């Protein structure tokens, strides 16, 4: 397996080894170049072991989306805890901050984890099962953000905003930066993060907070 995976420790089982190998193969070959053979090679497993766990590439990819979502939630739960404002910023920065992204990959935009995400998600335009999966992913993200905002409103740190609407707005912004960053030459994330800080101050925080 390639040395630069962002996952801690050794995989627990062949299912997890396949997930990590999928991540590495996607990074290296992109969505179009992904094949079961390459994943099996990367995981050091036979194709028959692969088919013991997954029906086909499609089945693999929807499981892979769950795996990435669980990874994100795990990392976020490790970093969260300093109150609603800090938690909201942490959530957004974990995805968008270039210094966090660098920890995952120091390569060209083409091979970052966000690029992999964009390639996978774009399949949802044509593929109903993948579309359902990403609808689920969005809802999970939005629920997590709405909970942070709700806590912020309840504790008087945030104004009396609608948590769901705010969560939709923030998720959309994060999705936009993910989409743009992986599909353009430069990286506008500094301006987006600065504007997000202004948004939190002007639109979310109570004036006396």
35 part of the interface to a second copy, by CB under 8 A: no
As beta bridge partners, residue 205 has 158
Q: How many CB atoms lie within 10 A of CB 143?
A: 13
Compute the least distance from the CB of residue 48 to a second copy, in Å.
29
Nearer to a second copy, 17 or 22 (CB): 22
Q: Where are the alpha helices (DSSP H) in the chain?
A: 14-29, 36-43, 47-53, 57-79, 84-96, 98-104, 113-122, 128-154, 163-181, 189-199
40 part of the interface to a second copy, by CB under 8 A: no
Within positions 143 to 172, which residues make up the interface with a second copy, using CB under 8 A? Answer: 161, 164-166, 168-169, 171-172
Sorted by sequence, the CB contacts under 8 Å of residue 95 that are 6+ apart come out as 72, 114, 174, 177, 178
Q: Per CB under 8 A, which region of 1-9, 55-63, 150-158, 194-202 contacts a second copy?
A: 194-202
Reading the block at residue 7, the tokens are: 């996952």
As beta bridge partners, residue 158 has 205
Reading the block at residue 13, the tokens are: 């089982």
Question: Coil, helix or strand for 172?
Answer: helix
C-alpha to C-alpha distances, 112 to 2, 51, 103, nearest whole angstrom:
14, 27, 10
Site string for a second copy, 84-123 (x = CB under 8 A): -------------------------xx----xx-xx-xx-
205 part of the interface to a second copy, by CB under 8 A: no
Nearer to a second copy, 45 or 173 (CB): 173
Site string for a second copy, 5-24 (x = CB under 8 A): --------------------
Among 2, 154, 191, 209, binds a second copy (CB under 8 A): 191
Which residues of the shown chain bind a second copy in the complex (CB under 8 A)?
A: 30, 32, 109-110, 115-116, 118-119, 121-122, 124-126, 128, 130-132, 134-135, 138, 161, 164-166, 168-169, 171-180, 182-186, 188, 191-192, 194-196, 198-199, 202-203
């Amino acid at each position: 397996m390639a040395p630069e995976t962002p996952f801690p420790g050794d995989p627990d089982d062949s299912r997890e080894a396949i997930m990590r190998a999928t991540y590495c193969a996607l990074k290296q070959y992109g969505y179009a170049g992904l094949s079961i053979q390459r994943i099996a090679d990367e995981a050091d497993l036979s194709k028959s072991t692969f088919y013991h766990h997954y029906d086909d590439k499609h089945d693999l990819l929807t499981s892979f989306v769950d795996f990435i979502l669980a990874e994100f939630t795990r990392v976020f739960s490790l970093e969260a805890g300093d109150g609603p404002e800090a938690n909201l910023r942490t959530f957004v920065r974990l995805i968008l901050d270039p210094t966090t992204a660098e920890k995952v990959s120091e390569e060209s935009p083409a091979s970052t984890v966000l690029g992999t995400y964009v390639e996978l998600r774009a399949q949802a335009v044509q593929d109903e099962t993948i579309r359902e999966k990403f609808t689920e992913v969005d809802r999970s993200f939005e629920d997590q953000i709405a909970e942070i905002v709700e806590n912020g409103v309840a504790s008087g740190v945030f104004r009396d905003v609608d948590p769901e609407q705010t969560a939709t707005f923030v998720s959309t912004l994060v999705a936009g930066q993910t989409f743009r960053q992986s599909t353009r030459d430069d990286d506008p994330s500094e301006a987006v993060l600065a504007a997000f800080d202004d948004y939190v101050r002007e639109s979310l925080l109570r004036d006396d907070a």
